[in-house]
Amino acid sequence: MSNQAVNMADMTEEKKRLLLKQLLARKDQGQAAAQEAGEIPEEYYRVDKFPGYRMLMEQMETFKALAMDNPYFSAHEGVSDHVTHIDGKDYINYSGYNYLGLSGHPEVSAGAKAAVDRYGTSVSASRIVSGEIPLHRELEAALAHIHGTEDCVALVSGYATNVSVIGHLFGPNDLLLHDSLIHNSVVTGCQLSGARRLAFPHNDYDALEKLLVENRKQHQRVLIIIEGVYSMDGDIPDLPRFIEVKKRHKCLLMVDEAHATGVIGPRGFGSHDHFGIDAGEVDIWMGTLSKSFASCGGYICGSKALIDNLKYNAPGTVLFSVGISPANTGAALASARIMMREPERAKRLRAKAALFLECAKAHGLDTGPSSGTAVVPIILGNSMHCLRLGQKLAQAGISVHPIMYPAVPEAASRLRFFITHNLTDEEIVYTVNTLAKELSALK
């Protein structure tokens, strides 16, 4: 490295990150030498010296000035319908995934309150011991109906659902094949399972086929994992084609429906509803309760054999885990009943998403592969532009979350808009017009 002083102000963000990595690498080399000399580096016993933490602090310094002025990073006082309250001001909210507008719905709130009044704030035990309440099975029956499956099990965490289920069902003799844009919870579950893991290019079932031709016979169980709607891009995979591939190679197929349930399909029942397929064609349906179901937790739908296996054998699902709380169960059950009773909610949601997408494309904005689901990205390809544009939108009364490096590659940096049922057409048009105007000024 040159002995001349480095002018950080003149460097691009990419060069700054590269320089930081080089400096950390040199320090790590020095620590390795010290360890050989019998010393224990601080990074081995002090959390504040962990490399990941040091990188985090550097990134926070880089964006601090803009982030401090962006209301998104402030504490939200509350959410009412599609409006979020921050520091006493109302913002049109595109930062949360209350897709069907059921969080705050009187019937859902009443369901949560009634559950607390009857069962308390916690079930206080694993469901196998004494922590199961009747609402658990009522919720699971409703979720199984929505997904068209034999049975269901609900868990306390959506993230932990993928980790626990994949980690339990698969092991070192198995192969896990997932879409390159799959959620981190799936990747973590794959890693903890000890199985071999391969990623195939996004939505590319031909590439998946090739991987199976090359690798299937070397393994016992093989699981293919995709999402019903991808949370970063809002696109929908060709599920029937993936089913064909899984059948041809005698694999299992898992579909993460976190952003699909309540959104796609004539009834809003998710991917099987959208494609008009028999839900039994998919071995494992996974979903979350924090989005369309206005609650918190995760669930797995599938055959009775699958659910029994998970309930009594899988650590972190029911075994060794407290049951989902009464309030969360009551809220999710009320939401499921509204979803089944009012399929027009999903239809109105998709109409609003289509309007947002239509307006954005009319302004020439890059919406990536989004296809009318409730997720619409506006891809900018520059993290600093994302923050500055987010700040301008906040000043105009619009709250939207920037997705930047390292969450996505720098070239894919974006503002991600979650479209919800309670948005008005006027708010959507105002948002996109303001977005286009401020982006033009920024460039």
User: Quick one: DSSP state of residue 318?
Assistant: T
pLDDT of 65 strictly over 70: no
- Return d(Cα 428, Cα 370) in angstroms, integer: 16
pLDDT of 190 strictly over 80: yes
N residues, the chain: 443
CB 334 within 8 A of CB 108: yes
DSSP-derived 3-state class of residue 267:
coil
pLDDT in tens, 399-442: 998 998 878 889 999 999 999 999 999 999 999 999 999 999 98
Tokens 């940096």 belong to residue: 413
Which residue segments constitute the domains of the chain, with CATH numbers given? 68-94+344-442 (3.90.1150.10), 107-341 (3.40.640.10)
pTM of the model: 0.87
CA angle, residues 268, 273, 277, in degrees to nearest 5: 170
Cβ-in-10-Å burial (0-12, 13-18, 19+) of 383 comes to buried
pLDDT in tens, 219-257: 999 999 999 999 999 999 999 999 999 999 999 999 999
Average pLDDT over residues 313-342: 95
- % of the chain exceeding 70 in pLDDT: 85
Average pLDDT over residues 71-94: 66
Q: Per-residue confidence at 87, pLDDT binned at 50, 70, 90?
A: low
- Beta bridge partners, 256, equal 227, 286
pLDDT in tens, 38-58: 789 888 889 988 888 887 787
pLDDT in tens, 8-30: 445 565 666 676 666 666 666 66
Tokens 């990536």 belong to residue: 368
- % of the chain exceeding 90 in pLDDT: 76
**Residue 47 tokens, joined:** 């959390």
Q: Per-residue confidence at 288, pLDDT binned at 50, 70, 90?
A: very high
